[in-house]
Amino acid sequence: MSEKQRIGARLRAERKARGLTVADLAELFRDVAPRRVAQRLPRLKDLERTIRGHEAGEHAVGPRYRLLYAAALDIPEHVLFPMPAPPALDVREADDGLDAVELARRVAASDVGEETLVALEMAVDELAAAYPCSAPADLLGRTRRHLEYVARLMDARMTLMQRRRLVVIAGWLSLLAATCDIDLGHRTVAEVRLRTTADLADHAGHAEIRAWALETRAWDAVTEGNFRQAVALAKDAQDVAPHGSSAFIQATAQEGRAWARLGAGAETRDALARVERLVAPLPMPDRPEHHYRYDPAKSDAYTATTLSWLGDPAAVACARGVLSRLQAPDAGPVRPRRAAAARLDLALALLAADEPAEAAHTALEAVTSGRLVPSTYWRATEVITAVDALDVPEAEDLKDAYRTFCTIPG
């Protein structure tokens, strides 16, 4: 069976599993497509013919239709259309971020069509939505390949409006790559990418990307223990971000976390109250797993973290509630990394509540999940150090698990 036939059989099986006819799927394509894409789709009969051709393996599925199938069938594009394994990428510190630097150079210097731009914009959303459930190294590789492609497009002829859209796409990709680098402990590369992100945001006049770059710096400062710097960066992000935007809310929450690490109770609770007011009127976004779209569930998770760091007794109930909702059958997309972080929050809160045995067990679940990343290892070591100091019997198991699951590749 050829690759086209294999993909066609998978598409046909997924459609039938959902009880959809070809006509139903064609209609669904129109429903899930952004307006600009929908306007360019063929009429329904031709669309049905295209779908049948895909399912029969008569022709390859192009980028636009891949994105539509992924959205209509609610399956990530990289799962529905797995690519051949790429050559091994060195995503360690040896990656000097030159792709980001070269991209910024070309921007300062046209044939890019509407379909290409829309496909790239949709790809950015897919990558950002993949963040909560992807291994950082894998997501970084995919994001870098998109960055390299966008960099090549910068030399093409295009209108000023098309160029701005391409620069915005590049800004989001650079930001996501920097986030993955921080997760992996590649701070030098992340700094290069964040500077590039800020340059791209300024070039495009995109305040929210600029604010996200500052907020990401604040988060990195928290993981490094530079809490006062984190407060300052979070406030800078709020000054830049459009009021009420996802970046504004995230920066406010990040400010609260930094104050909590400083033991500043009044400032922490003020930040939490501001987040609560901002989140209260928000509807649940259509893709709550999207890393750059704030949702009420993320607010709950951040509150649990903040209260546990502050040593507030309310942190136990809050963290339990977050974990329970994440594990509920109707909780929406699986977010295993958020669940692992919620277990660390609960473990720290349990320590403050004088429940060290349960804290050790809960931390062990987080560590052995395999979902912690280098940027969160320090949170696990806090619990391990505290449990060890209390001579809890489970401490040795926890330390052994940490050595097994939380080794940073050298």
CB 311: neighbour CB atoms within 10 A?
A: 15
Q: Which of 325, 335, 348 is nearest to 132 (CA)?
A: 335
pLDDT for the residue numbered 57:
87
pLDDT for the residue numbered 343:
92
Joined together, the tokens standing for residue 202 give 């300024």
DSSP 8-state secondary structure symbol assigned to residue 376: G
Give all domains of the chain, ordered by start, each with its CATH number. Answer: 1-77 (1.10.260), 91-205 (no CATH), 295-410 (1.25.40)
Global pTM?
0.70
pLDDT for the residue numbered 331:
58
**Mean pLDDT per 10-residue interval, the chain, length 410 residues:** 76 82 90 74 87 88 83 79 48 46 49 81 92 89 92 85 94 96 91 95 96 96 94 97 95 96 95 94 78 84 91 92 78 74 92 92 88 89 92 87 74
Contacts 24+ apart (CB under 8 A), 384-392: 386/351, 386/356, 386/359, 387/351, 387/356, 387/359, 387/360, 387/363, 390/356, 392/356, 392/357, 392/359, 392/360
Cα 143 to Cα 181, 240, 372: the distances in Å are 11, 25, 20
pLDDT for the residue numbered 85:
39
pLDDT for the residue numbered 88:
39
Contact 132, 338 (CB under 8 A): yes
pLDDT for the residue numbered 86:
39
pLDDT for the residue numbered 5:
80
The C-alpha atoms of residue 96 and residue 176 are separated, in whole angstroms, by 16
C-alpha torsion sign, points 212, 139, 340, 181: negative
pLDDT for the residue numbered 100:
55
pLDDT for the residue numbered 294:
85
The C-alpha atoms of residue 94 and residue 30 are separated, in whole angstroms, by 44
Instruction: Name 105's Cβ contacts closer than 8 Å, sequence gap at least 6.
Output: none
Rounded-to-10 torsion of CA 193, 199, 202, 204: -80
